[in-house]
Amino acid sequence: MMPCYKFYYFDARGRGELCRYALHAKQRDFEDIRLGGDKWQNFKPSTPFGQMPVLDVDGKKLAQSGAIARYLARELDLAGKNCWEQAACDQYMELADDMFTELVKSFFEKDEAKKAEVMKNLNDVVLPKFLALFESSLNRNGGCYFVGDGLTIADLAVYSAFDTPLKRCPTLLDSFPKLKAQRAKIEGLPKLGEYIKNRKPTDI
Amino acid sequence: MPTYKLSYFDLRGRGELARLVFKAAQRDFEDDRVQREDWPTLKASTPFGQMPVLDVDGKKLAQSNTISRFLAREFNLAGKDSFEQAQCDQYLELVEDMFKEFAKAFFEKDEEKKKEINKNLSEVVFPKFLGLFEKALEANGGSFLVGNSLSLADLGVYNGFDTPLQQNPKMMDSYPKLKALRSRIEGMPTIGDYLKNRKVSDI
């Protein structure tokens, strides 16, 4: 019997979208529960650590976006074909998360002067560094995927990490052909492609 | 059996958890402590220009938590199935969240701001995480965070409190299960010796 998945997060991409991507990529049914305001406050006490996302698997709850994404990757055959490939996927997830953390810093910076500085650093140093690392990693692995010869959570994690930067700067990937091609490939997948095309836009 | 070499600076930082996993599993490895002056030459040979790096029979793995998770799976310290593995991951990420708060204080140069951050750490942040971990231990029977034996989750939490405890040795006094878990780990063979004899580093 296939387990029943309920995924709880805000009505945004943020730290939840990667998990949704994994489920859609493998055309797996799940309850995509989006909570905010009072509904979230009422749900909060029943979460493991007072946060979302939370994945409910037949009544057992898992917290922490990375833990959930890795669990789904294993369950949905998106974690490479052996322990080493699973670690290789992890690597890229962590790298994507490092970049995401820098983006979050810039998004939440309230001080206007500091924000300008942080944004400049993001555009001149941080993003170019990660773009180069990801592009060269793809090249080293034959050009199509980060790990092995099929889609993994690594590819989806990098895709997800560039969602918001690309909104701000749609030409961001223009000098990174392998990354750009991979995005197009992911957007061409059934179900996941539909989901990406039809989801409502959110700032984050 | 594969040959393992872990390369990192000569301090705890982001390399120590992997070292603890080796010790807890009583597995041999080359504990390659790189001196600061030798790092620039080594950098280009790493996957992403950073350490720690784990070399397994010539193949390299980067990113501290990736390395720790990989080793935990190899040495049966990642829970007994996929769900328990995910629970271990959960705690590792929670420690990471706490570490990020802690790092803010460590890297803050402005003295006034630093005092403010430290106040927030001791009054809000640490109590929150101490409470979460203590509750999690209680909910799981009291001895370990996941399942009924030592896992990466326990080692991750142990490691996460090393530096805070150095700065405030009493911080766990009102959290008996956490405190007992620490003693339990310190009493285990090989890892116990390692913890007792390792040199002290600030971070």
Tell me the per-residue pLDDT of B49-94, one tens digit each, with 9 for 90 and over.
999 999 999 999 999 999 999 999 999 999 999 999 999 999 999 9
Token pair recorded at residue B20: 């603890």
Which of B14, B59, B67, B70 is most worth mutating to test chain A (most A CB atoms within 10 A of its CB)? Answer: B70
| Residue of chain B whose alpha carbon sits nearest to that of A88 | B61
Predicted pLDDT of residue A113:
86
In this structure, chain B runs to a length of 203
Q: Is A62 on the interface with B (CB under 8 A)?
A: yes
Instruction: Kindly determine whether residue A62 and residue B90, on different chains, have CB atoms separated by under 8 Å.
Output: yes
CB neighbour burial string for B48-58, b if at least 16 within 10 angstroms, e if fewer: beebbbbbbee
Which of B14, B48, B152 is most worth mutating to test chain A (most A CB atoms within 10 A of its CB)? Answer: B48
Average pLDDT over residues B120-143: 95
Instruction: Kindly determine whether residue B61 and residue A74, on different chains, have CB atoms separated by under 8 Å.
Output: no
Which residue in B127, B131, B149 sits closest to B140, CA to CA?
B149
Tell me the per-residue pLDDT of A168-193, one tens digit each, with 9 for 90 and over.
899 999 999 999 999 999 999 999 99
Q: Is A87 on the interface with B (CB under 8 A)?
A: yes
Q: What are phi and psi of A55, to 5 degrees?
A: -110, 125
Q: Is A140 on the interface with B (CB under 8 A)?
A: no
DSSP label at B140? T
- Nearest Cα of chain B lies from the Cα of A88 at a distance, in angstroms, of 7
Tell me the per-residue pLDDT of A16-58, one tens digit each, with 9 for 90 and over.
999 999 999 999 999 999 999 999 999 999 999 999 999 999 9
Local confidence band at A114 (pLDDT 50, 70, 90 cut-offs)? confident
Local confidence band at B156 (pLDDT 50, 70, 90 cut-offs)? very high
Q: Is B68 on the interface with A (CB under 8 A)?
A: no
| Strand B30-34 relative to strand B4-9, pairing | parallel
The DSSP annotation for A41-74 comes to: HHHGGGSSSS-S-EEEETTEEEESHHHHHHHHHH
Contacts of A161 (CB under 8 A, 6+ apart): A96, A97, A99, A100, A103
The C-alpha angle with vertex A40 and arms to A37 and A41, in degrees rounded to 5, equals 85
Residue type, B179: K
Local confidence band at A110 (pLDDT 50, 70, 90 cut-offs)? confident
Predicted pLDDT of residue A63:
97
Predicted pLDDT of residue A29:
96
Tell me the per-residue pLDDT of A48-77, one tens digit each, with 9 for 90 and over.
999 999 999 999 999 999 999 999 999 999
Local confidence band at A204 (pLDDT 50, 70, 90 cut-offs)? confident
Contacts of B146 (CB under 8 A, 6+ apart): B79, B84, B87, B88, B91, B140, B153, B154
Instruction: Kindly determine whether residue A74 and residue B82, on different chains, have CB atoms separated by under 8 Å.
Output: yes
Which residue in B202, B139, B192 sits closest to B11, CA to CA?
B202
ipTM over 0.85: yes
Q: Is A83 on the interface with B (CB under 8 A)?
A: yes
Percent of chain A topping pLDDT 90: 86
Size of interface A-B (CB pairs under 8 A): 68
- Nearest Cα of chain A lies from the Cα of B76 at a distance, in angstroms, of 12
pTM over 0.90? The answer is: yes
**pLDDT at residue A101 is higher than 90:** no
Q: Is B191 on the interface with A (CB under 8 A)?
A: no
Of B47, B74, B86, the CB nearest to A70: B86
Q: Is B33 on the interface with A (CB under 8 A)?
A: no
Provide the 10 A C-beta neighbour count for residue A23.
Answer: 22
Of B70, B82, B94, the CB nearest to A64: B94
| Residue of chain A whose alpha carbon sits nearest to that of B131 | A49
Instruction: Kindly determine whether residue A84 and residue B66, on different chains, have CB atoms separated by under 8 Å.
Output: no
Local confidence band at A104 (pLDDT 50, 70, 90 cut-offs)? confident
Local confidence band at B202 (pLDDT 50, 70, 90 cut-offs)? confident
